[in-house]
């Protein structure tokens, strides 16, 4: 289903973004989006959420399906799960950037795959998000104007920082519900509260 785009950008903002090195303005108004994930329930929910935000969505559940979609009509945006039943989503990101260099691809990765996520960025992914990630978080990443991310291999995060960021993502996905976050993380509620009360570790 194709839904009329409502970008919220004016021409001055688009020109300013282009001058800053972001993708060309026409890409921002092209709302074609590929979502690649083998979790069908998640895929359908996310597709509905992105259509409601003005995207024209194509869905795929395998690397083969994702590559075929890119070959047929390279989208302006893509949300791609890294681990799929028939391969790695990085292959689709690589093909998408070869076909459409200005495309914005978001990689979804499980906790503990930070190094692989950095590889995704080097292959052309615009951003990466740890699962679970909700529609608002994904949409924000897709529309962000930030291109250059720090190289985590040259400037690696500490183990405490990685753990803290994962906890924060789960906390946000639970609508800041401490009890539900503790349940999902299999963590004592008081322990979680102490972590949330502290500043982010370096």
Specify if 6 maps to a domain: no
Range of the domain at 191: 159-197
> What's 131's DSSP letter?
S
What pLDDT is stored for residue 175 in this prediction?
77
What CATH number corresponds to the domain at position 193? 1.10.10.60
59: number of Cβ within 10 Å: 18
User: Residue 106: its pLDDT value, please?
Assistant: 85
This prediction's pTM: 0.58
Residue 188 lies in a domain: yes
Beta bridge partners of residue 127, listed in sequence order: 106
- What digits encode the pLDDT tens for the residues 11-45? 343 343 333 344 444 445 788 999 999 889 999 99
Q: Is it the case that residue 61 has pLDDT exceeding 90?
A: yes
- Average the pLDDT over 122-150 and give the result: 71
**Does residue 184 share a domain with residue 92?**
no
Average pLDDT over residues 132-160: 65
Q: Is the pLDDT of residue 146 over 50?
A: no
The CATH number of residue 90's host domain is 3.40.50.2300
How many domains is the chain partitioned into structurally?
Answer: 2
DSSP characters for 25-38?
HHHHH--EEEEE-S
Determine the Cα–Cα distance for residues 106 and 135; give it in Å rounded to an integer: 12
């Amino acid at each position: 289903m194709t839904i009329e785009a409502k970008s919220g950008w004016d021409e001055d903002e688009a020109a300013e973004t282009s001058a800053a090195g972001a993708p060309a303005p026409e890409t921002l108004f092209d709302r074609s989006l590929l979502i690649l994930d083998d979790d069908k329930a998640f895929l359908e929910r996310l597709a509905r959420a992105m259509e409601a935000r003005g995207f024209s969505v194509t869905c795929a559940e395998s690397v083969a399906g994702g590559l075929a979609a890119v070959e047929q009509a390279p989208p302006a945006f893509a949300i791609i799960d890294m681990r799929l039943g028939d391969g790695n989503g990085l292959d689709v990101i690589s093909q998408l950037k070869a076909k459409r260099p200005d495309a914005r691809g978001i990689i979804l990765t499980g906790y503990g795959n930070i190094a692989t996520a950095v590889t995704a960025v080097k292959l052309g992914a615009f951003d990466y998000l740890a699962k679970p990630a909700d529609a608002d978080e994904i949409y924000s990443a897709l529309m962000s104007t930030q291109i250059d991310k720090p190289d985590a291999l040259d400037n690696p995060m500490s183990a405490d920082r990685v753990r803290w960021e994962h906890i924060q993502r789960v906390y946000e996905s639970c609508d800041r519900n401490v009890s539900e976050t503790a349940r999902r993380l299999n963590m004592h509620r008081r322990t979680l509260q102490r972590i949330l009360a502290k500043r982010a570790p370096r």
